[in-house]
Amino acid sequence: MKMPKHTDEAKAYFRGLVTAAPGVEVKPMFGSLGAFVNGNMYAGLFGEDVGVKPDADALAELEALPGTGPFGPEERPMKGWRSLPTAMPDGEKSAWLERARDHVATLPPKASKR
């Protein structure tokens, strides 16, 4: 499986899209970054792509937008996730991250493995 390199600029850009909220944290994942709420991942960075895990209705809405695509490795894209169009304005990207966060926040908190 091919894992893309993540630039420091892409990581800083991703951190800038994540808005602060209770239970939200940005953590490293496989050399990249993921945004989590209550331990569940709702957004991530894969190479230069920003992806989100929205609810089913929002996923269908996102899939209809030009420029969106699968998120994750080409051989095994993540089910229920979509990458945001690169041409999408930053404010809209942040709004999609918030929608995904609000959806994932309804899931049971993930228990720590420690």
- Answer whether residue 114 shows pLDDT above 70: no
Distance CA 86, CA 29 (A): 21
What are the sequence ranges of the domains in the chain?
A: 8-104
Q: Could you report the per-residue pLDDT of 14-59, keeping only the tens digit for each?
A: 999 999 999 999 999 877 899 999 999 999 999 899 999 999 999 9
pTM: 0.91
CATH number, domain 8-104, options 2.30.30, 3.20.20, 3.90.1150, 1.10.12: 3.90.1150
Report the DSSP pairing between strands 32-37 and 24-29. antiparallel
